[in-house]
Amino acid sequence: MTDVPLFEGLVLGIETSCDETSAALVEGRRVRSNVVSSQASLHEKWGGVVPEAAARSHVESILPVVEEALERAAASLGEISGLAVTNRPGLIGGLSVGLTAAKGFAYALGRPFVGVHHLEGHLMSVLAETEGFRADVTFPHLALIVSGGHTEIVLVHESGRYELIGQTLDDAAGEAFDKSARLLGLGYPGGRAIEQAALEGDPKRYPLPRALPGDPFNFSFSGLKTAVLRLVEREGNQLKVADAAASAQEAIVGVLTAKFLAAAEETESRCLSLVGGVAANEALRSRLQDGCYRRGLAFICPPPDLCTDNAAMIALAGSRRLASGERDDWNLDALSLANLTDP
């Protein structure tokens, strides 16, 4: 059963590590508001996130986004009892904006704040309680984190104590979606675009490689990108884009599912969670749901808006840290690189 002590009162979460400016208010597990302002249209013309432009956009959006989070929660600044902010890993410019804002609020309100690892935020998204979602999270459980920058299988012994079981040796799963989408002319960000195009496609039409068959729990997606490039060159204007999208999605979803379920067996896990932006993918969600059902395993996957980057997950992870007495001080820095298992 879930037994994660959370901080008393309202916790404000702030997330600015990549191209989403987000602020959320949680009270216990309950998400009172979760506002996400996406910069996708800003970066679309470049086909990827431009760090300098992202940082400037966070500067513009951060206060309106916090204001809207307060408004939607029908709360006032004075009701905030603690703050949580993503301080690692991510783009330094963006992280610095969120961190500075959080410190400013903490200082002005005289409330404690903690820095949160972005991936811990994704892991703790399973704790969220919304209108349509509340999961019985058990510990230990096995998590698959799939995002634009990470692909990791993590054994969550308890919140805050993590063991890395497997990871990607090159591109992340989200990158594989984004790069394949770009090669297929489907635009940015690519994950949703591939998913949409794949709805009309035949996943068996173009067989694409499944990487690292001999390595049970690690992943490699860079070969897929090359294979999609070759496919595009070979087929030219004969290419059936929907079939290529479905085939690329199948290559990614198939390997993620097989290795995650194999890791569950190896670690004797009874409860599996799927988190991170790529967890918004319906093909991956239903394949894993099905695999878990057939093995009698519990399966938790938050709704899509809590899978892609958001501040509610940061508030939840921070709330747990605040409840255990953790506090950060004004020296807390932003880090572009940091492992989840670092102290």
Residue placing its CB nearer to Zn ion in the complex, 121 or 203: 121
Q: How far is the CB of 119 from ligand KG4 (least distance, A)?
A: 8
The answer to whether residues 155 and 163 touch, using CB atoms and an 8 Å cutoff, is yes
Query: Which residue in 89, 94, 112, 148 binds ligand KG4 (CB under 6 A)?
Result: 148
Interface residues for ligand KG4 in 69-98 (CB under 6 A)? none
Distance CA(64)–CA(182), nearest Å, equals: 32
d(CA 270, CA 124): 18
Q: State in angstroms the smallest separation of the CB of 277 from ligand KG4.
A: 2
| Cα separation, 275 vs 271, whole angstroms | 13
Which residues, numbered 301-330, are part of the site for ligand KG4 (CB under 6 A)? 308-309
| 174 binds ligand KG4, rule: CB under 6 A | yes
Binds 243: which of ligand KG4, Zn ion, none (CB < 5-8 Å by kind): none
Does position 21 interact with ligand KG4 (CB under 6 A)? The reply is no
Q: Nearest-CA neighbor of 189 among 21, 308, 23? A: 308
Neighbours of 72 (CB within 10 A): 15
Kindly report the length of the chain.
343
Nearest residue (CB) to ligand KG4, 87 versus 308: 308
Nearest-5° angle of CA 56, CA 60, CA 66?
A: 130
Q: Determine, following the binding rule CB under 5 A, whether residue 147 of this chain makes contact with Zn ion.
A: yes
Q: What is the DSSP letter of 252?
A: H
- Which does residue 171 bind out of ligand KG4, Zn ion, none, counting CB within 5 to 8 angstroms by kind? none
Query: What residues form DSSP beta bridges with 152?
Result: 145, 167
Binding site residues, Zn ion, CB under 5 A = 147, 309
Binding site residues, ligand KG4, CB under 6 A = 18, 147-149, 174, 177-178, 189-192, 195, 276-278, 280-281, 308-309
